[in-house]
Each structure stands twice: as C-alpha cells, then as structure tokens.
C-alpha cells in the first residue's frame, strides 16, 4: 500500500494513502466529502485510456488514509496535497477537484501558486464561498450547515443514506443512471470515514472563503457542474466562478445531480479528457 506521512498525532503517524497509475501527463484527482479516491473510478478508467498518469489519494480521515482527530481545515488539507505532489516530483500536472476537493484546488493556488500546475478543473465544486454572509449574500444560510452537523452527530449512518439520495437525485435517476449498488458502495465508503473528520469537514467546506485563492489561478480552468445539483447548487458555485477565475470555462450538464461523475460520466468524461489533453 502506497502512503506518505504528513504529520503525527501523539504516538501515531498521519499517513495519506494514494494510488499512482499510468504514464504521460500527470492528473491529480481530489475527491469529495465524505467519500474517497475510489469515487473517481469511472474517470480514472477514461484518463488512463487517454494516456495520462493518474494520481488519486484519500484525504486525511477518509478512505484508507489515517483518521486523526486533528487537521480538518483547508490549510492542512492543502499542505497534505503539496506534500504528495512534492514527493512524487510532479511537474506540469493538472489538478481536478470534485465538490469539497475543489477547495483544495483553489487553496493550492492561493498558497503555492501555479509554478508546477498547468490546468485546473472544478467539478460540482464548493468554491467560491458557500456560506451566506454580509459580503456574500449569494451564499447558503448557515442554518443549513448547522442542520447537517446536527444530523451527523445524531445518527451519522442514517444521515449518509439521506445525503447520498440527494447526492445522486435517486428519486429521479435511481435505476436509470445510478443503481442501488452504486449508492450502497458510496455509503460503505462514507460510513468507514472518521466520524470526527466527517463532522469537522462540514465546517471547513461551508465556511472557508476561497475568493482570494481563486484570483491567483492563472492557468486554463474548466468548471463543470450539474444544473440539478441539490448538494452544491449551480447558482451559488459554478455560475459565479468566472467572476474570480478569468481563464475559465463553465459547462453546465443538463439534468445532472451532484454525483455527476458517476451518473453523467458519458457526458462529463469526454469534456475532461478533451480539456486535459489540449
């Protein structure tokens, strides 16, 4: 199993699990909450076929990475990512972030710049800033995120079932574009995550302001989002991105839910392969 050590909690090292496959131009995939790098299954297959080197990893607290009680904030997440790309000596690589993972992509440019990054992709991503505040009236009311945290604390497994139903718009797409088995697979992955990490990440992705980070992006950027996304609504996220990222292109996938990387892979993947191969 391939891991890198990114820190220490008491007597225990904090290790990040990663997979590194293929050859060619490197693509680093940053997964969403509360899943793992395994959620990139369909895209990895197509990127490998297109001749890319594909790196996936599990965020601390999720998948096969360590599950510490500390470090669930975007500065630490991004430092973990930077440690990985430094160890792998990546150059001219693309960063692709799904949902919460879009925050790491944005913060990476804010902290480390674009010296070694050639392209960026935000898929169903949380930037620019989800939380409604006085200077961000387009955001989502904080009570929604407090409700998520209360549900996680009360009965995390039950919350995950409800969350994934909305993640895939199962009432509309179940049995058509997503199977019960896929939903169950995602539940299994999410249920295995750190309970504390699952909870703390809600604060991280809802209250972190990425607007200044996005302004540092000076590479070609693709923003791809479903117009039926119930988790990160298109108007509060992707629709606003060109205001902050000048060299960006937005693609709205009609009828697609938050989990469009599975349900609409036949539409999403060709757009990504085309963009990343240019």
SS3 of residue 21 by DSSP: strand
Active site residue 99: yes
Active site residue 218: no
Catalytic residue, candidates 36, 39, 99, 248: 99
Catalytic residue, candidates 31, 52, 258, 264: 258
How far apart (Å, rounded) are the C-alpha atoms in residues 233 and 250?
Answer: 14
In Å, how far are 51, 125, 222 from 250, measured between CA atoms? 25, 12, 6
DSSP 73-137: SHHHHHHHHHHHHHHTT--SEEEEEETTHHHHHHHHHHHHTTSSEEEEEEES---S--B-BTTBT
Active site residue 52: no
Catalytic residue, candidates 229, 237, 248, 264: 229
Burial class (CB in 10 A: 0-12, 13-18, 19+), 48: middle
Q: At what angle do helices 142-167 and 180-191 cross, to 10 degrees?
A: 130
Burial class (CB in 10 A: 0-12, 13-18, 19+), 267: middle
Closest CA to 82 of 105, 53, 52: 105
Query: Which residues are the active-site residues?
Result: 99, 229, 258
């Amino acid at each position: 199993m391939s891991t890198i050590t990114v820190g220490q909690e008491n007597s225990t090292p904090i290790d990040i699990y990663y997979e590194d496959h293929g050859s060619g131009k490197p693509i680093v995939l940053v997964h969403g909450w509360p899943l793992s790098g395994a959620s990139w299954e369909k895209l990895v297959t197509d990127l490998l076929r297109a001749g890319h080197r594909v790196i996936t990893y599990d965020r601390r607290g999720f998948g096969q990475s360590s599950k510490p009680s500390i470090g669930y904030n975007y500065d630490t997440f991004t430092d973990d990512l930077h440690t990985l790309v430094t160890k792998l000596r990546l150059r001219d690589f693309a960063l692709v972030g799904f949902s919460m993972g879009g925050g790491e992509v944005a913060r990476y440019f804010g902290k480390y710049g674009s010296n070694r990054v050639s392209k960026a992709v935000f898929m169903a991503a949380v930037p620019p800033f989800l939380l409604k505040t006085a200077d961000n009236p387009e955001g989502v009311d904080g009570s929604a995120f407090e409700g998520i945290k209360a549900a996680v604390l009360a009965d995390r497994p039950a919350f995950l079932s409800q969350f994934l139903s909305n993640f895939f718009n199962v009432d509309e797409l179940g049995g058509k574009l997503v199977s019960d088995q896929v939903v169950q697979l995602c539940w299994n992955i999410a249920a295995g995550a750190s309970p504390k990490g699952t909870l703390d990440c809600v604060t991280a992705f809802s209250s972190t302001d990425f607007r200044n980070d996005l302004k540092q992006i000076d590479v070609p950027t693709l923003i791809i989002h479903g117009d039926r996304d119930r988790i990160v609504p298109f108007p509060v996220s992707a629709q606003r991105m060109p205001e902050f990222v000048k060299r960006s292109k937005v693609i709205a996938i009609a009828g697609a839910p938050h989990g469009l990387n599975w349900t609409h892979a036949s539409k999403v993947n060709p757009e990504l392969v085309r963009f990343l191969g240019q």
